[in-house]
Amino acid sequence: MQALWMLLAACLFATMGVCVKLASAYFNNFEIVMYRGVIGVLGLLWWCRVRGLGAAFFKTRFPMMHVWRATVGVVSLMCWFYAIAHIPLATAMTMNYMSSVWIATFLVGGALILQRPGEPLKQQGPLVLTILLGFVGVALLLRPTLNADQGFAALVGLISGVIAALAYLQVSALARVGEPETRVVFYFSVGAALAGGVGTSVAGASAFSAVGALWLIPVGVLALLGQICMTKAYASGATLLVANLQYTGIVVASLYSVWLFDDHLPPSSWGGMALIVVSGIAATALRVRGIPAAPPQEQEQGR
């Protein structure tokens, strides 16, 4: 059943990407993030009311951990939405889904920093290979598919994956201290609503469009449902299976790109996407097997 939850989540997030791309023709990036957060907050408040959870559910002993998770999560979300609006959907999805490769990069970098003088660095070779494989995939994916004016958006998409890795590491830290997933999602949605609202007040609101507004509603609903499905999938304990199935979202987004937006994906582009998927799966497998699980100091700080 956990596989079905993850497949559904991947499809929901890919479909959300379509709605973000369509909504970006009517609203700026800050507005889309704001509405995505507002709808998420309202949906979770309704869910808590149905479940009979009172105000005590939202109290936390780790407010600053939620602040950091919301901060990096919202920045990643803004970068991702910007990339979706300006480059092919499949490319933007792949850039964001490189988070597993970036997490492996952080683990290797952390191990190097924490290495004692004269101590050999053990068991890092496989992770280094996954990192290199992922970057080869990026080179193949970006070079043939982007126009000259899409370089900045591609860079922003790449940054979204880097920051998403930081967000996922913080989610893991929150899980280690016992914070429920719903509370983590709630405060992330609050952060998105606030950051998007501040950005909108500075950049200015777009002229209201009923057609555009119709695309904002599914952005929030699909994002919330996708997070719920993903949470159910990871709650099963089959971490490696679930993490690997996440990459089906790239396949779905690629089909959307070709079908709805007439994006041309040459063979080299498909090859680059395949390399990124393989490297991400390999990095996830190595993490699950503990090569390395995390630097000891990082684990202690997470607790």
Kindly state the average pLDDT of the residues 163-188.
Answer: 86
Domains of the chain: total: 1
Distance in angstroms (rounded) separating the CA atoms of residues 246 and 13: 10
Distance, in Å, from the CA atom of 246 to the CA atom of 16, rounded to the nearest integer, reads 15
Q: Whole-prediction pTM value? A: 0.81
At position 258, the amino acid (one-letter code) is V
Q: For 1-7, what is the mean pLDDT?
A: 76
Q: What is the pLDDT of residues 201-243, one digit of tens each?
A: 999 999 888 888 899 999 999 998 988 887 777 655 555 566 6
How far apart are the C-alpha atoms of 200 and 223, rounded to whole Å? Answer: 20
Assess contact for 27 and 212: CB atoms under 8 A: yes
Please write the tens of the pLDDT for every residue from 43-57. Answer: 999 988 888 888 788
- Model pLDDT, residue 266: 79
**Is pLDDT of 156 > 90?**
yes
Reported as half-sphere exposure (CB side, CA atoms, 13 A), residue 115 has a value of 16
DSSP state string for the chain: -HHHHHHHHHHHHHHHHHHHHHHTTTS-HHHHHHHHHHHHHHHHHHHHHHTT--GGGG--S-HHHHHHHHHHHHHHHHHHHHHHHHS-HHHHHHHHTTHHHHHHHHHHHHHHHHPPTT----S-HHHHHHHHHHHHHHHHHHHHH--GGGHHHHHHHHHHHHHHHHHHHHHHHHHHTT--HHHHHHHHHHHHHHHHHHHHHHH-PPPP-HHHHHHHHHHHHHHHHHHHHHHHHHHTS-HHHHHHHTTHHHHHHHHHHHHHS-----HHHHHHHHHHHHHHHHHHHHHHTTTTS--HHHHHHH-
Is the C-alpha dihedral spanning 20, 23, 25, 30 positive or negative? negative
Domain residue limits at 231: 2-302
Mean pLDDT, all residues of the chain: 81
Whether the Cβ atoms of residue 5 and residue 230 lie closer than 8 Å to each other: yes
pLDDT value for 123: 55
For the segment 17-46, what is each residue's pLDDT rounded down to a tens digit?
Answer: 999 999 999 999 999 999 999 999 999 999
Compute the average pLDDT of residues 269-273.
Answer: 82
Per residue in 93-150, pLDDT tens? 888 888 777 877 776 676 666 655 554 555 566 767 776 777 787 777 766 566 666 7
Check whether 301 has a pLDDT greater than 50: no
Q: CA-to-CA distance for 285 and 159, rounded, in angstroms?
A: 23
